[in-house]
Amino acid sequence: MGEEKRGAFVALEGIDGSGKGTQIKKLKKRLEAEGYAVYRTAEPNDSPTGDLIHQIMIGRIRTTNDVIAALYAADRLDHIQNDTNGILKFLRQGINVLTDRYYFSSYAYQSVDVPMDWVIEANSLAAKLLRPDLTIFIDVDPHVTMERIEKNRLTRELFEETDRLMATRARYLEAFERMKDVEKILIVDGNRSVEVIHEEIWKKTKSLYVK
């Protein structure tokens, strides 16, 4: 399997309700209509580890930062490597992969306060194994996303409140600042309409995808 056929790996990041899912769905549809093969994946993975993370995120299980960090790191590695839905498997088949959050999201550990250095360290193995070709950060005012979440969601996750989202956004931006020499990051203004954001993402990524 030659490297030249490898699919593109594009990660979408942003605080909750910033529109990652919406944009990925739209992008996937457009790519498929134009004849590209696309696989969509999300964090956490659909595995026992992912399930545990989810339980923590909704407040059903309480644990310490160290345990959460270890679970995130394990989930990332599984997400990259596992035999059934591992990202690498798809990329090697020339399939383009769109990810709703990759390791950057863990820089933002939303429900707990974790030192940024610890988080970067915890995610360093995933970063070494597989960096996205491009990380797109959909940057939205947390007040705007809270309105969206309240209007549209049946359940709210533990950390989905404005102060947390403000802090999370700041952590993301700090992480991007730190990692700008090694990561390719595109910051997109997410306070606009779904269509306008989609067009910007399309224009800035279309040359990356592989047929």
User: Counting Cβ atoms within 10 Å, is residue 141 exposed (0-12), middle (13-18) or buried (19+)?
Assistant: middle
Residues 112-151 that bind ligand ADP (CB under 6 A): 148
CB of 93 to ligand ADP, least distance (A): 26
Q: Which is nearer to ligand ADP, 12 or 95 (CB)?
A: 12
14 belongs to the binding site for ligand ADP (CB under 6 A): yes
Q: Does 201 bind ligand ADP (CB under 6 A)?
A: no
Q: Tell me how far, at minimum, the Cβ of 155 lies from ligand ADP, in Å.
A: 12
User: Is 193 near ligand ADP (CB under 6 A)?
Assistant: yes
Q: Under the criterion CB under 6 A, does residue 22 sit at the interface with ligand ADP? A: yes
Taking each helix axis as running N to C, give the angle between helix 48-57 and helix 65-81, from 0 to 180 degrees, rounded to the nearest 10.
Answer: 140
Q: How many CB atoms lie within 10 A of CB 80?
A: 19
Q: Which helix (H) or strand (E) holds 163?
A: helix 162-179
Write phi, then psi, for 125 (nearest 5 degrees): -70, -45
The structure tokens listed for 132 are 């996205």
Chain residues binding ligand ADP by CB under 6 A are 14, 16-22, 148, 152, 193-194, 197
